[in-house]
Every structure is written in structure tokens, then in C-alpha cells.
Amino acid sequence: MRINNNLFLAKANLKGSKRKDTVMVMMILSVVAVTLLVGFLSIVNTTCDEYKNMKICRQGYIMPETCYPNGAKGVTDKTIGNVLSLEHVVSCERAALPTVPEVITITKITDENNKDVSNTTNETNLDKLTVGLVDQFYDSDYINKVIKGTGLDKAPEMSCILPHIFTYEDIDEDSGKTVAREKISTESLIGKTITVDLEYLIHQFTKGEKRGYEKGYLGEWTSLPKITYKLKVVGIYYYSKATSLDGGSYILVSKATAEKIDKMALDNAVKKGMKDDLDDYINDEYARDYVVTADSIDNIAGIISELQGMGFNAGVQVGYVDESMLAFTGIFGGVGTFLTVAVLFLTVINIFLSVHNNIAERKAEIGLMKAVGYKTSQIFYSMYLENIILAVKALLIGGVLSAVTVLIINLINSSGDTAQQMYVMPWTSFLILLAIAFGVILVIPLVCLLIMVYNIAKIQPQEAMNA
């Protein structure tokens, strides 16, 4: 039986169907559930997983041995083995350079010909770059995940990669409110050189015996004099909203470059008369914080607790773990999953009942069709085609509803703060989910009909003789 003939019969039968409206509503809801709920659930979970896998969320610190009597232990060649032997500990290393730069300012941008191109475009606006590119890191999970240009593993020293976009926010000093927010692309900066002024704030430790203590170290925060250096922008990496823990985005450099810059800062500080202050910091391997890394964000708190129990002065990296984000993910995930499953379950039940009742009510009609020569398979295809027609209509209506909703959500979130920007659905993802939703609402009636095909086969042609 040709598809046109089937379509003709299916359309006619649908006209008289008592349940088609209910079935179509459930199909529309299924489309919406799959595209919206599953779509945003996926974004939330992916963002959260990305975030949870970041090294910085899995790290704690151990301070050097303190000076006080019965003071806490520090990491030494004798104690480092104890730390590494703990379950879930991946590494224990001297605090990676750089420490937290107090101030980082971009003072100039030059092109390949060394021509000053600062402030010639929105992207080269020095104020915006300085505000938007908050920190400089080397130990990042994104160090070689460039989307354009060259990764740092292939680039020479004193190179850097930038986030593909950064957010510039203008905050009113009096009220503290954001008065302007702009997203700026950095793609045009590939190949250019940025001049950076950096002032380090270091957590410096000095041997206690220099201050009259028998053992241990004394710690204090020390500002180093400003240094200036140049970095060549060799690539851009995908700015993941999850990495912007404090709302900013990072200039990434290689470990070698970071160590070189820090040596520059320390050498400069020594030159300017800070030699005595920095002597232990520079020359004593254990006059530093040590960073312990766990295999999972879920284990770091337990590791720190164990270390404290062992007498170490240990703690988690404060301010990096956003508990509210984790809580939101959990709640949204739970509610979203429940709603999606509920909608799909109700759709299955509804369609199954519709098919079942449809067959029962059309017994005489099916009997007549068999009497005039229709086979069970032909009747099956005709009934399935009725559901395909409903599915196509549901896809169109549900698709439009979902698209409008996604458009509104995306517009709101993309112009929102960094946390909101996490929840923007790419249109390619939406289209893929829409295709999946269509598949779902095609498969459900097919499965229901296949289960009921025995009932269709059971109807005998002589049913047509029963009035």
C-alpha cells in the first residue's frame, strides 16, 4: 500500500479520533521536556562537572612548620611521604608560581611590526583588558585547549593565551552596582604583544630562628616591587564559564614562563633591597605553602581533615568552591529529571491507552478492512501513520514553543552576570535535542502499537458481520 494511500486513510481516521488532542498535547509536552529540561539539565551538569574537575577545586594547602611550641607540622622531605600515602591524594607540590598577583595592568599592545595599537579598537582598549583579564595563571586545565592559534606547549617562552571572550564590567564606585557590561572578543589580539605591569603579593615564610624561635617558620604577606614584561599572544582558549570562579578570566602562561616572571619579580625585589626578607623564600625549599591535590572535589575536605588530624597546618583553598552552584545543580537536576521522566512516562501511558482503546473501538472497522483484503501489517502501518501525523504536528508546535523559550532564556542569561552566562543553550544543541525529541515521540507509539499488534491480528474479518 503506497504511502499516499496510507496517508489519506490515516488523515481521515484522525479526524474522528476522540483521543488525538490528548495524545498530541502529551507529545508536545514531551518535545518541550526533552529540548528544554534535558537541554538545560545537560548544560548545568556539564558546567558543574567541568567546574568540579578543575584542579583548583580539588586542592588544599599545607603551610610550613610553624614556630610555636607544639606547632603544626609542615611539609619536609621527612613528612611528604605521609601526605602522599593518603588515599585520594594525587600530588603534593610546592605552591605553584605565580602566587596571587595583587595588581596586573596591561599598559600597551603592539602589533607584529612593533607598532603601538593600544586603544585603536574596542578589543585593544587597555582599561577594558585590564579590568576584564583579572589574573595570570599557568597551572590551568585549559593551558593547551586553544580554539584558535597555538597552544603553549608549542609556543616559545614569554607567550600567553587569552580567553576567547572576556566580560568587561563598569561598576559604579558609590553604589557598587554594575552600570555597563560588555563581552569583548580577543581573537584580534592573536599575534600581538601585550606589555604587562605586575605587582606580586607573596605569602612569604622566614625561618623562625632568625626571629628568636627554635624551629619552624614565620609567615607574612609581602608586596614585591612592580615589574614590567611582555607576552606574545599566540592563541585563544574557549572561555568556560565554570573556570571564572571569581567572575574574571585569565591570561594563561606556561610553567616555564611563570617561573621566569616570578624570578624577575624576586630578582627585582632583591635589587631594590629586599634580599634579607626574601632569602629563605628564595633559597629554602620548604619555606613555601605546599599544595595537595585530590582525585575529586568530593575527597578534598576529607583529605584536609586527615592532614589536620596528623598535625599539619592544612586547609582548603577558600573562596574557590561555590557551594551554591553545587546545590543549585543538585536541586535543578533532581527536579528536572523528575519532570522529564514524569512527562515521558505519562506520554507512554497515554499513547498506550489510546492505541489500546482505538483498536477495541474500531473492531468492526478493522474487521471490514480485513474482509475487503487488508492485511494486519497494512492496518498496523495505517494506525502508526496516524501517530506520525500527530508527532509531526507536535514537533512543530513543541519546537516553536521550546525555541521561543530558549531564545528568551538565552537573551536574559547572556546579558547577565558570569554565573548566569553559564546557562546559555547553543542552538546546535537545541536542534540535536529537537531531533532526539522527534525520535522519542515517533518511537513511543511504534512500541505501543507493536505491543498491541497481537490485538490487531486477533480481530477476525467476520467482526464486520457483527453489527
User: Which residues form the interface with other proteins (CB under 8 A)?
Assistant: 1, 4-6, 8-9, 12-13, 15-16, 364-365, 368-375, 378, 460-462, 464-467
In whole angstroms, the minimum distance from the beta carbon of 380 to other proteins comes to: 13
Closest separation between CB of residue 19 and other proteins, Å?
Answer: 15
Closest to other proteins by CB, 207 vs 370, is 370
Nearest distance from residue 344's CB to other proteins, in Å? 30
Q: How many CB atoms lie within 10 A of CB 71?
A: 17
Q: How near is the Cβ of 13 to other proteins at its closest, in Å?
A: 6
Q: Which is nearer to other proteins, 348 or 364 (CB)?
A: 364
Q: How many CB atoms lie within 10 A of CB 335?
A: 12
Nearer to other proteins, 41 or 456 (CB): 456
In three-state secondary structure terms, 395 is helix
CA 318 – CA 451 distance, rounded (Å): 57
Q: How far is the CB of 396 from other proteins (least distance, A)?
A: 23
Nearest distance from residue 389's CB to other proteins, in Å?
13
| Minimum CB distance to other proteins smaller for 8 or for 345 | 8
CA atoms within 13 A on the CB side of 319: 3
**Per-residue CA distances from 93 to 3, 62, 169, 360 (Å):** 69, 10, 35, 73
* Smallest separation, CB 8 to other proteins (Å): 7
290-294 and 59-62: which strand pairing?
antiparallel
Nearer residue to other proteins within complex by CB, 171 or 465: 465
96 vs 290: CA distance, rounded Å: 8
Nearest to 58 by CA among 246, 252, 296, 359: 296
Closer residue to other proteins in complex, CB, 8/338 = 8
Nearer to other proteins, 415 or 462 (CB): 462
Separate counts of helices (H) and strands (E) for the chain: 13, 14
Provide the sign of the torsion angle of the four alpha carbons 207, 209, 214, 219, taken in this order.
Answer: negative
132: helix, strand or coil:
helix
